[in-house]
Amino acid sequence: MTDSTLTPAQERLAALRAEAAELAERKAAATADPAAPDDGPRVAQVGETVHFVRSGFSVPQSLDHELFGGPGNRPMTRGDELVITERHREAARNRLGQPGWLALVHDPSEQMRRWGHVVIVPGPRPVGMEPWVRGDRDWSEARERAMLAAAALGDPHERADAIAAVNARFGGPPASNSSSTVYRGDDGDLPRGR
**Could you read off the pLDDT of 16-60 as tens digits, one per residue?**
898 888 888 877 776 655 554 555 668 888 899 999 998 888 888
Nearest to 53 by CA among 130, 150, 113, 155: 130
Q: Which residue ranges make up each domain of the chain?
A: 49-122, 137-170
Residue 21: the pLDDT is: 87
**What is the number of alpha carbons within 13 Å of residue 59 lying toward its C-beta?**
23
Quote the pLDDT of residue 3.
55
- Nearest 5°: the CA angle 65, 73, 81 is 125
**Three-class HEC string of 90-101:** HHHCCCCCCCHH
Amino acid at residue number 123: G
Alpha helices in 43-174 (DSSP H): 86-92, 108-115, 137-151, 156-170
Half-sphere exposure of 82 (CA within 13 A, CB side): 30
What pLDDT is recorded for position 90? 86
pLDDT in tens, 83-141: 998 888 888 888 888 888 899 999 999 999 988 889 999 999 999 888 888 888 888 89
What pLDDT is recorded for position 50?
A: 93
